[in-house]
Structure 1
Amino acid sequence: MHHRWLLLFACFWVLFMLMVASKFITLTMKDPEGYGIKQGPLTVLPETEKMTVTETKKLQIEVQPTTTPLKDDSYTALIHKERMELLSYVCHNESLRNLSRNAISKFVLDRIFVSDKHRILFCQTPKVGNTQWKKVLIVLNGAFSSIEEIPENVVHDHEKNGLPRLSSYSAQDVNERLNSYFKFFIVRDPFERLISAFKDKFIHNPRFEPWYKHNIAPVLIRKYRKNRRMSRGGLQFQDFVRYLGDPNHRFLDLQFGDHIIHWVTFVELCAPCEINYNVIGHHETLEDDAPYILKEAGIEHLVSYPTIPPGITKYNRSKVEHYFSKVSKRDIKHLYTRFKGDFELFGYRKPTFLF
């Protein structure tokens, strides 16, 4: 009998100890927050790579691709303020000095049209809708009473359109105007602008300017066509890109003269780090930028920017991919190296999808 009680007591004791042990194990398996999941060792994730100040600012104001125009005036003003802040930052970036700085030479002054009556300077940057801005200035200068009256052949005839160039003034008058007049110009995605220049001058040539096809194209084909046996068929976009990305392109630039204005960088055309521009519009947001420029210049009650056809200013990635599809990665990288200053200064994304 005594042994039976001892056996029962031993069984109860073992059962009790098992219950205590089970409870202890359950408690230790719970995580500190009480979710009943065992907490394993912590894994420290690497910090996200920090963006440079330039990249951060570019993310704030990127215009490519643009889908809908901005409608709110205050937001448009903020966008322009951030664009100018980015420009100032990049201009002071010593690592980009060779790509962003340019002397105010006669070549630059030749690009700037003057309206003394309304104290406006406009720097011409071809292939971004400059013809329409010329019409605006022609009306402001009084040569014609409305944009609709201006014949197309007169717009580009600088002896008849009534648009003096800043280079025609004395040094003192140039400095006075640069320091006191309202100054602006328009930019566009650099690579898409080059496509537009190539199509306009070497493919369609709507204004019949034969020197592009007959004088410039043969020179580029002889120097940059890889397969010399395929010299027929005119200039190819690949040839054009190799020329533009060639570090020694300036030798040919001198030979081609002012015709190069259609494809040189915005830096070379307008010296944005040396001239304190008031507004830099973007082709991709021209629906909003045009009225903003007119308002800032104080002429919105005198003239209107011509109607912009729907979709014409929108960035076309498919077109860019199509034209660069036959260009080697090496040539694209060389081209980007030359135009990097334009991408950085004006907040355009590096077209990594091409590399």
Structure 2
Amino acid sequence: METQKLPCSCLYCFRDSLGRITEWLTFDNMHHQWLLLAACFWVIFMFMVASKFITLTFKDPEAYSARQELLFLTAVPDAGKLPGEKHFPEELKPTGAMLPDSQLAQPLVYLERLELIRNVCRDEALRNLSHTAVSKFVLDRIFVCDKHKILFCQTPKVGNTQWKKVLIVLNGAFPSIEEIPENVVHDHEKNGLPRLSSFSEAEIQKRLKTYFKFFIVRDPFERLISAFKDKFVHNPRFEPWYRHEIAPGIIRKYRRNRTETRGIQFEDFVRYLGDPNHRWLDLQFGDHIIHWVTYVELCAPCEIKYSVIGHHETLEDDAPYILKEAGIDHLVSYPTIPPGITMYNKTKVQHYFLGISKRDIRRLYARFEGDFKLFGYQKPDFLLN
């Protein structure tokens, strides 16, 4: 039986149909490819928009206060209160929780400082050296700038005069730092710097929870040397009570050679500060002790959640950073820092402690150990051993 052949016209029709189908499939495939490509571009575009939005949100200074963590207030026993001390009820204690969003963009060194404080605050062995009540004595040390939502805790002998000038300008009392008379800076009746203690308890806690908070530290022993020189040797602001009232009180109690008639010596000062019973004299001296008490007693770093801790030794970097973080770097600048003035001077420290007994130095370190550990200062073994 012969195979029946298709007519030529049918064959041509079949080929023509097959070509059209192939062309349609090719076109449809390209159509899907273009759709897929367009979808990819759309996803990339939306991702870029979202990233830009997130970046702008985190840079918004107005959002700062909303991201601050709660204040931690810790009550301590009433024994040995400082002058005019007022205690607030115990609320929460540091937990070492994750860093708030406002701190995620901070350079590593500032994050490490805050983390170190949290770790030391959790160390029960150092609790008596790292914790204190948020008392009136502490609140008196904290200056307020409501206009820019800033709290600054005063730590005397660590360049605080310059920070006061910055806040005075921000509060509008003077148009520039250069125009502030030197005698006005420390006159708290005229400098326009309210203390946190002047507000109601509710207003205090609101500011502590939401404002940008900072203070500056330096090597604890070098700070004591600076305090001794400034108040008992040079006394540039003519504060006679240091030489005529405080110095004699220290000499009477702590000078070993009763026949010696010289004025107060650094050795007398060290014995006073290292005495576990120093609070009896502190009560007599009143608020003048702010120049040599510990940073813990001044600013309560385990109870108050500070935003930034500056170091005197790195002030050239820390001052601009603090102004930027507080959102005021476009309004005011930190005064020029003379070269080398903030550097730690080991030779000077050795000179002042020369001749002082190891026992007295160790007792002094025992009192200030909390400051050394909270702020990462190296233990002065060259003085202790």
How far 1:326 moved relative to its partner?
1.6
How far 1:295 moved relative to its partner?
0.3
**SS in structure 2 opposite 1:176?**
helix
How far 1:105 moved relative to its partner?
0.0
CA distance in 1 between counterparts of 2:310 and 2:120 reads 17
**SS in structure 2 opposite 1:228?**
coil
Tell me the equivalent position of 1:207. 237
Q: Deviations over 1:104-163 (max 9, x none)?
A: 000000000000000000000000000000000000000000000000000000000000
Matches within 5 A, 1:9-24: none
Q: Deviations over 1:235-254 (max 9, x none)?
A: 00000000000000000000
Tell me the equivalent position of 1:273. 302
Tell me the equivalent position of 1:341. 370
CA distance in 2 between counterparts of 1:225 and 1:77 reads 47
Tell me the equivalent position of 2:274. 245
Is contact 1:245–1:334 with CA below 8 Å preserved after alignment? yes
**SS in structure 1 opposite 2:114?**
helix
Amino acid at match of 2:360: D
Is contact 1:141–1:163 with CA below 8 Å preserved after alignment? yes
The counterpart of 1:224, out of the listed 240, 254, 265, is 254
Tell me the equivalent position of 2:191. 161
Tell me the equivalent position of 2:329. 300
Amino acid at match of 1:333: R
Matches within 5 A, 1:104-183: 104-183=134-213
**SS in structure 1 opposite 2:107?**
helix
Q: Deviations over 1:49-91 (max 9, x none)?
A: xxxxxxxxxxxxxxxxxxxxxxxxx998210010101010000
Matches within 5 A, 1:322-337: 322-337=351-366
Tell me the equivalent position of 2:265. 236
CA distance in 1 between counterparts of 2:259 and 2:272 reads 19
2:295 aligned with 1:284:
no
Tell me the equivalent position of 2:133. 103
2:118 aligned with 1:88:
yes
CA distance in 1 between counterparts of 2:132 and 2:106 reads 29
**SS in structure 2 opposite 1:247?**
coil
Q: Deviations over 1:311-345 (max 9, x none)?
A: 00000000000000121000000000000000000
Tell me the equivalent position of 1:311. 340
Is contact 1:113–1:166 with CA below 8 Å preserved after alignment? yes
Is contact 1:76–1:288 with CA below 8 Å preserved after alignment? no
Amino acid at match of 1:136: V
Quote the sequence identity (%).
78
TM-score, normalised on structure 1?
0.78
Moved >3 Å (runs of 4+): none
RMSD over aligned CA atoms reads: 1.1
CA distance in 2 between counterparts of 1:76 and 1:273 reads 20
Amino acid at match of 2:231: K
Amino acid at match of 2:269: F
Tell me the equivalent position of 1:195. 225
Is contact 1:329–1:354 with CA below 8 Å preserved after alignment? yes
Is contact 1:90–1:345 with CA below 8 Å preserved after alignment? yes
CA distance in 1 between counterparts of 2:105 and 2:325 reads 15
CA distance in 2 between counterparts of 1:125 and 1:206 reads 18
Tell me the equivalent position of 1:260. 289
**SS in structure 1 opposite 2:287?**
helix
Distance 1:307-1:75 versus aligned 2 partners, 3 A rule: farther
Higher normalized contact order (CA 8 Å, seq sep 6+, divided by chain length): 1
How far 1:233 moved relative to its partner?
2.0
